[in-house]
């Protein structure tokens, strides 16, 4: 079946400027979120708290930190939230 992607296509098939703006905004928000997590991890490192769960204080397993060095909470606390 031939799909109609011409400018006259139904609204649901068109990628609008608004869609692209939203995509870019979401990418920026995600980048800022990641930056915030990394800065918080660096602050924990400077404060000697790196690798400890910010919620319960238990050590975060090494494999979790290797997968995501900015991990702030242990598996148990991540699952509770």
Q: How many CB atoms sit inside 10 A of residue 73's CB?
A: 18
Q: Which is nearer to Zn ion, 49 or 55 (CB)?
A: 55
Which stretches within 1-81 are classed as H helix? 17-46, 62-67, 75-80
Q: How far is the CB of 73 from Zn ion (least distance, A)?
A: 5
**CA neighbours closer than 13 Å in the CB half-sphere of residue 39:** 6
Residue 49 interacts with Zn ion (CB under 5 A)? Answer: no
Q: Which is nearer to Zn ion, 20 or 57 (CB)?
A: 57
55 with 77: CB under 8 angstroms?
A: yes
Residue 77 interacts with Zn ion (CB under 5 A)? Answer: yes
Q: Which is nearer to Zn ion, 19 or 76 (CB)?
A: 76
What is the binding site for Zn ion (CB under 5 A)? 53, 55-56, 74, 77
């Amino acid at each position: 079946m031939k799909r109609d992607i011409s400018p006259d296509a139904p609204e649901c098939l068109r990628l609008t400027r608004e869609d692209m703006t939203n995509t870019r905004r979401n990418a920026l928000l995600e980048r800022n979120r990641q930056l915030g997590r990394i800065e918080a991890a660096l602050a924990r490192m400077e404060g000697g708290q790196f690798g400890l769960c910010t919620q319960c204080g238990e050590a975060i397993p090494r494999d979790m930190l290797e997968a995501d060095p900015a991990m702030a909470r242990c598996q148990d606390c991540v699952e509770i939230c």
